[in-house]
Amino acid sequence: MFACDPATVVDQQIAAWRARDAEAFAAFYAPDAVIADFPATVTSTGREEIQTRYARNFARSPADLQLSIKTRIVSGEYVIDEEVLTAGRGQIEAVVVYRVQECLITRADMLPSQMRPRAPEAGQ
């Protein structure tokens, strides 16, 4: 059994992402964690590199960027999220597979995403 709930760890990491707090975001990753574009393109290795990369990403991203979870599957130490990022009239959907061990994310694999325009809101 787990000392912590993997879904809660991922939720807390997402809360730090939404706050655009790179230090808090990276703190949920193991010191030797890997973030990769599936199936094998490593984009960040280690907590320090993750913090640096996301600090840069947060600084460059639109002020109205939002992230929501469309679907979630939890299986043991794995959390699989279908995430939707929106900004302006654009929307990106992606699937992220997180592995949580000893209360830290040890790996996050990003599956190819699809970018498309957002549907107009009612009255627009």
Domain ranges of the chain: 6-115
d(CA 21, CA 92): 21
| Segment 81-108, tens digit of pLDDT | 999 988 887 888 889 999 999 999 999 9
The mean pLDDT value for 42-50 works out to 89
The mean pLDDT value for 20-45 works out to 90
Rounded to two decimals, the pTM is: 0.84
d(CA 1, CA 8): 15
Residue 90 CB partners (closer than 8 Å, separation 6+): 115, 116, 117, 118
Domain 6-115 has CATH 3.30.300.30: no
